[in-house]
Structure 1
Amino acid sequence: MNSETTSAAQLWQEWHQQRLDTVTAPYGPLSVTGTYWIADADDEGRIEGVPGQWRETADGTAVVLRADIMDGLAVDGELLVGEITLSADREGPGQSRVSYGERRLELLWREGQWAVRVHDPDSATRRSFTGIETGPYNGHWVLRGVFHPYSSERSVHVMNTDGHERGLKLGGELRFTTPDGGEHTLQVSVVGSGALWAVFADGTSGRGSYRFRFLRTGAPAADGSVTVDFNRATLPPCAFSDHFLCPFPPPGNTLETDIPVGERDIAG
């Protein structure tokens, strides 16, 4: 193994350790114990399993939370007695404004609906977690890809892991050639500062790896070229907790080849 390959493998090992640190963090994906839709609250705004009374504002742009001292809810570290209007948490669950003891109640907005997601650092899944099965680093799976954007963003409806269909926004196609010479295309979303994100399955899905995985790249260059590193394919959040709303791969995103690298499944 030459020094360049060694360096790439070391960088990947550092990335892998960062992933483990993120997954096992107190409010990481292993901490999620429930996702509750505010639309399912009763006439008093009560949601089974979540303290307080929750309702949308009249225009649907925010949520009003009402609590009394017996609910034990805090907002920004102060016990809430009365009402407060809240917007979606955008800085991650660790920064959620609402807490209940050590638990964080993350407020989410998904396709016109509000939900409360509960993060518990003492969740059973976090306590029993033993690791992520990951294929060994293989530089042959660091590929050159070319991004072909659509003339305008598209949305397709795909099934989510909770059994409901939701829209998935797609910004273009990512084309690449795998080490066996096969030419492949993935439909991808454009996220953040131009980075690409794909939900994909392959020949190992469901028989050696989780039923689907996520792939992220950096932002493509001006000519559309971008590095496609399947060593950094990740498990979706729903692999760590059943209470995430992960989309299944859109049509055409099941590759007819085995991808033996990247995160594969939960260990054990």
Structure 2
Amino acid sequence: MSRVESSGTQAQDDPRRDWERWHERRVETAASPYGPLSLSGTHWLADHPDGRIDGVPGRWKDDGAEVVLTAAEQDGMSVDGQPFAGEVRLGADRGPIPGSRVSVGERRLVVLSREGQWAVRDFDPGSAARRAFAGVEAGPYDPAWVLRGRFVPYGENRTLQVENADGRSRGLGLAGEVVFFAHDGAEHSLHVAVEDDGSLWAVFADADSGRSSYRFRFLRPGAPDAEGAVTVDFNRALLPPCAFADHFICPFPPPGNTLPFAVPAGELNMLVK
């Protein structure tokens, strides 16, 4: 094997370099035109019974199973990439933000549904938050924060009502716990959800949340193996979307998901100019 080939293989197997690439991708995603920094508003239609939303053209009405958008030519709106005037029925947008059905210039107006309530989200690449973004503060990679854990499923899934970042309470679906040993040698656990691909997702806080790091973070371990073994890598703790823009509705940690020790690894805070 040549030196170049050996070096490349070593780089691929270097967890520190792999984490650095992950962190770089995270910063690039946050700064992208339709990343989380571009969200300039989440407008619940129940708060706008006349269908008019300040700063958002058109009239938006909750029609139960769908949203009805009515627009005039002077509103400057497009639907499915074509100039639009008239009335159209819309379901929830579930794909990438750039591909959402409704746009106004570079802005994307995304239809959202949560627990039977409809909203319109306004993603604007020219948002003040995106212009002020200066990066993501993260702790240095530390292999000591890569912990072995095991997934213990509940007998049946649970839904807990937890407060969200917008001050409202909503259901948070949970499927089990991840149990692991931390630096203090004690056993700890986090309640987690199971994603469609089998990977896990936790909302957690720690002893320093709200001080040296954001008030809570996300953790996304991979899918457990057949015996339930899973890697819990706090180096990849994530800032939630609401750390980048106030208009997200991230859930707060459920009871039991505040760790009694500080976690100085992973993403800590958003940096601004």
Partner residue of 2:223 out of 219, 222, 227: 219
Shift of 1:245: 0.4
Per-residue displacement from partner, 1:217-263 (whole Å, max 9, x unpaired)?
Answer: 11111111111110000100000001000111000000001111000
Q: Is the 8 A contact 1:40 1:47 kept in 2?
A: no
- Counterpart amino acid of residue 17 in structure 1: E
Q: 1:129 aligns with which of 130, 133, 155?
A: 133
Instruction: Look up the match of 1:86.
Output: 90
The 8 Å contact of residues 146 and 225 in structure 1, kept in 2 or not, is answered as yes
Counterparts of 1:198-209 in structure 2 under 5 Å? 198-209=202-213
Instruction: Describe the shift of the 1:70–1:4 C-alpha distance in structure 2 as closer, same or farther (beyond 3 A).
Output: closer
- After superposition, the Cα gap between the structure-2 partners of 1:5 and 1:67, relative to the gap in structure 1 and judged at 3 Å, is closer
2:259 equivalent in structure 1: 255
Question: In 1, distance between residues paired with 2:94 and 2:11?
Answer: 38
* Counterpart amino acid of residue 49 in structure 1: G
CA distance in 1, matches of 2:246, 2:132: 15
Gaps spanning 5+ residues in structure 1: where?
Answer: none
Give 1:182 deviation, angstroms.
Answer: 2.3
Offset at 1:33?
0.5
Displacement of 1:4 after TM fit?
8.7
Q: Does 123-132 or 177-186 show the bigger shift? A: 177-186
In structure 1, the residue matched to 2:28 is 21
2:62 counterpart residue number: 56
Structure 1 residue ranges (4+ consecutive) displaced by more than 4 angstroms after TM superposition: 3-6
Q: Does 1:193 align with 2:202?
A: no
2:200 is paired with a residue whose SS is: strand
Identity of aligned residues (%): 58
- The answer to whether the 8 Å contact 2:12/2:18 transfers is no
Map 1:94-173; keep pairs closer than 5 Å. Answer: 94-173=98-177
Query: Hey, what's the Cα distance between the residues in 1 that align with 2:46 and 2:96?
Result: 22
Query: Which residue number corresponds to residue 39 of structure 2?
Result: 32
- Paired letter, 1:71: D
Shift of the 259–83 alpha-carbon distance from structure 1 to 2, 3 Å rule, reads same
The answer to whether the Cα contact below 8 Å between 2:177 and 2:190 also exists between their aligned partners in 1 is yes
Distance 2:150 2:35 in 1: 33
1:26-64 deviation per Cα after TM superposition (whole angstroms, max 9, x unaligned): 000000100001122233x2122211111123xx22111
Q: What one-letter code is carried by the residue in structure 1 that aligns with 2:22? A: W
TM-score w.r.t. length of structure 2:
0.93
Mapped to 2, the partners of 1:5 and 1:78 lie a distance apart of 45
The number of equivalent residue pairs is: 263
Consecutive unaligned residues in structure 2, runs of 5 or more? 1-9
For 1:256, give the aligned amino acid. Answer: P
In the other structure, the counterpart of 1:178 is: 182
Say yes or no: does 1:41 pair with 2:41. no
How far apart are the structure 2 equivalents of 1:179 and 1:104? 45
Give the Å deviation of 1:151.
Answer: 1.3
2:165–2:250 Cα contact (<8 Å) kept: yes
Following the alignment from structure 2 to structure 1, what is the Cα–Cα distance between the partners of residues 193 and 134?
Answer: 31
Q: What is the distance in 1 between the residues matched to 2:229 and 2:241? A: 28
Contact 2:242/2:249 (8 A) holds in 1: yes
The C-alpha deviation readout for 1:174-198, integer Å capped at 9, x for no partner, is: 1001133121110001112111100
What is the RMSD computed on CA atoms of the aligned residues?
1.4
> Aligned with 1:19: secondary structure?
helix
TM-score, scaled to structure 1: 0.95
CA spacing shift, 1:221–1:6, aligned 2, 3 Å: closer
